């Protein structure tokens, strides 16, 4: 599960490659391209990014006043690679305080695997959207003053001994707007005897952002494990929410600390608002002040229409701290008042409501197979129907099944079957090329039965041949 740490950057030159240093002292190399693959930077014709080098070129084109209104689109997944020294080549952190990123970056559903923060500063006009299944070791943005939306992070931080404040998977500090974001990650995981991976006396550690400084966080989901030593202001959605708004968010977190102010939604709520949120955070071990919604509340703060079990606030100025509902009551629809089940939340009797944005296909919510459908969707193995539904109880045709488990090929393959729809042709070609289908799985020499429901036997044969290409000789 994914997360990240804020980055401190120093740049030097090394044989056409620049290098920067993250907060752990590791060296990362990056190189900047002189242009993009294609595009003119308009909304209809964005600059197309196909490599980290092209991504780094946004530092030149997308930042400052000249970057306002410039559009970029990611056309492929970005992974680390090596330079001629064998050193890992990764991204430069885009934007600075003097020249923040002011463009529009569309991930187009791709992954960006980065060990460095993707955007150092996103300006008021900056937009980052549609990064799916992003694996980050640092935040998407160190400081977000603009809009981050529809991003997913997943992975594992591994071991990290850092001494800094404001750590968050989406943003270290948020003064702008973060919406429809999902983080599934382990903030700290160590194989060492010392169970605390983050050894810090600083504050502001959260699933979505470390410090929500007057910003808005809404329709966000975080499922996290955080182990922190001596820290304060640790929360499932935000570590510190000062003057900001957190609404319509869902948190599942496991917090362990020797510090103070740990909350399922927010660690420290200071003149801020938490509204229409659900917290399922049963463990906040070791904290001197912990609660399902907030660890500690100060000033004129508001907690409105939130749902939880256990103690709402650990140490607060709110009179008569409230206890929440039992799990049984949280699974009853009658418990919930004034949640928007038409547009934001999705519910089914016998289950705790969930955010619609959590699912690739909302009609799979609470289905017994939802987890597997979501995982395959994240890997782009399945896509569902054009209307956004998956229809999990429908029968699967032979052509659909072949697409699910197959790849495509550039080989010029003759397809003898006349009933194969155009969308399935690349996958059927690969199935023929890989000898996954033969006369035993077809109706005749010219009919595959592409639109016929696939039988369990046929599916088993194709899966077996996919896993072990030589099995077909015995079947």
Helix axes 398-405, 425-433, angle to 10 degrees: 70
Give 133's contacts (C-beta < 8 A, 6+ positions apart).
Answer: 111, 152, 153, 154, 378, 379
**Beta strand pairing status for 198-199 and 232-235?**
unpaired
Q: Are 101 and 63 in contact (CB under 8 A)?
A: yes
Alpha carbon distance 313, 21 (integer Å) = 39
Integer distance in angstroms from the first to the last C-alpha of the chain? 40
- In the numeric block, which tokens belong to residue 18? 């620049």
pTM strictly above 0.75: yes
The predicted structure's pLDDT at residue 189? 33
Q: What is the structure's pLDDT at 27?
A: 52
> What pLDDT score was predicted for residue 214?
93
How far is 119 from 62, CA to CA, in rounded Å? 11
| CA angle, residues 184, 185, 187, in degrees to nearest 5 | 145
Residue 58, both tokens: 């946004």
What pLDDT sits at residue 461? 84
Nearest CA among 273, 248, 275, 251 for reference residue 263: 251
d(CA 322, CA 256): 22
Phi, psi of 5, deg, nearest 5: -130, 145
What was the pLDDT predicted at 371?
A: 77
Q: Helix, strand, coil proportions of the chain in percent (round to 5)?
A: 15, 35, 50
Residue whose token pair is 């809404």: 218
Rounded-to-integer distance, Cα 385 and Cα 245, Å:
35
Query: How many other CB atoms are found less than 10 A from the CB of residue 153?
Result: 26
C-beta atoms surrounding 317 within 10 Å: 12
Q: Residue length, the chain? A: 475
Count of Cβ atoms closer than 10 Å to residue 391 Cβ: 13
- For residues 92 and 54, the answer to whether their CB atoms sit within 8 Å is no
- 196 HSE (CA, 13 A, CB side): 16
Nearest to 58 by CA among 1, 123, 137, 149: 123
Beta strands in 249-360 (DSSP E): 250-257, 260-263, 266-270, 273-275, 278-279, 283-285, 290-291, 294-298, 302-304, 313-316, 345-346, 354-355
Q: What is the pLDDT of residues 45-95, one digit of tens each?
A: 999 999 888 898 999 899 999 999 999 999 998 876 544 444 555 678 899
Give the SS3 label for residue 160. Answer: coil
pLDDT for 1 equals: 33
In the chain, which residues have pLDDT < 70? 1-33, 80-90, 115, 133-138, 154-165, 180-202, 228-231, 256-259, 282-288, 316-322, 378-379, 407-411, 467-475
CA distances for 283 relative to 14, 279, 291, 444, angstroms: 47, 11, 9, 60
Q: What pLDDT was estimated at residue 65?
A: 95
| Alpha carbons 411 and 54: distance in angstroms, whole number | 30
Using left for φ > 0, alpha for ψ between -120 and 50, and beta otherwise, residue 24 falls in alpha
Question: Phi and psi dihedrals of 300, rounded to 5?
Answer: -85, 70
């Amino acid at each position: 599960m994914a997360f990240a740490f804020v980055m401190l950057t120093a740049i030097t030159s090394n044989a056409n490659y620049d290098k920067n240093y993250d907060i752990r002292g590791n060296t990362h190399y990056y190189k900047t391209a002189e242009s993009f693959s294609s595009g003119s930077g308009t909304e209809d014709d964005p600059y197309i990014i196909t490599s980290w080098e092209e991504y780094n070129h946004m530092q030149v084109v997308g930042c400052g006043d000249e970057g306002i209104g410039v559009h970029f689109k990611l056309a492929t997944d970005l992974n680390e690679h090596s330079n001629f020294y064998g050193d890992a080549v990764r991204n430069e952190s885009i934007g600075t305080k003097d020249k923040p990123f002011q463009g529009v970056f569309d991930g187009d559903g791709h992954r960006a695997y980065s060990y460095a923060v993707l955007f150092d500063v996103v300006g008021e006009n900056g937009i980052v959207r549609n990064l799916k299944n992003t694996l980050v070791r640092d935040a998407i943005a160190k400081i977000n003053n603009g809009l981050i939306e529809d991003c997913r992070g997943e992975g594992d931080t591994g071991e990290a001994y850092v001494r800094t404040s404001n750590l968050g998977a989406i943003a270290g500090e948020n003064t702008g707007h973060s919406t429809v974001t999902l983080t599934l990650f382990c903030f700290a995981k160590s194989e060492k005897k010392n169970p605390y991976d983050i050894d810090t006396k600083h504050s502001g550690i959260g699933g979505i952002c470390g410090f929500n400084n007057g910003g808005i966080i809404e329709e966000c989901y975080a499922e996290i494990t955080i182990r922190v030593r001596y820290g304060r202001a640790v929360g499932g959605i935000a570590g510190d929410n000062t003057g900001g708004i957190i609404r319509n968010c869902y948190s599942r977190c496991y917090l362990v600390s020797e510090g103070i102010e740990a909350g399922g939604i927010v660690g420290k709520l200071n003149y801020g608002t938490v509204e229409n949120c659900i917290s399922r955070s049963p463990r906040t071990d070791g904290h001197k002040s912990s609660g399902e919604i907030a660890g500690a509340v100060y000033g004129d703060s508001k907690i409105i229409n939130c749902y939880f079990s256990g103690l709402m606030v650990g140490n607060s100025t709110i009179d008569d701290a409230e206890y929440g509902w039992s799990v049984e009551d949280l699974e009853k629809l009658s418990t919930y008042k004034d949640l928007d089940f038409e547009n934001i939340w999705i519910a089914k009797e016998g289950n705790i409501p969930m955010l619609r944005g959590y699912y690739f296909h909302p009609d799979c919510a609470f289905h017994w197979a939802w987890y597997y459908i979501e995982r395959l969707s994240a890997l782009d193995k399945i896509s569902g129907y054009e209307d956004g539904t998956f229809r999990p109880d429908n029968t699967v045709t032979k052509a659909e099944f072949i697409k699910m488990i197959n790849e495509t090929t550039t080989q010029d393959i003759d397809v003898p079957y006349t009933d194969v729809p155009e969308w399935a042709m690349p996958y059927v070609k690969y199935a023929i090329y890989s000898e996954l289908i033969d006369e035993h799985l077809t109706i005749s020499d010219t009919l595959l039965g592409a639109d016929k429901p696939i039988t369990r036997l046929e599916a088993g044969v194709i899966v077996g041949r996919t896993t072990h290409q030589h099995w077909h000789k015995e079947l």
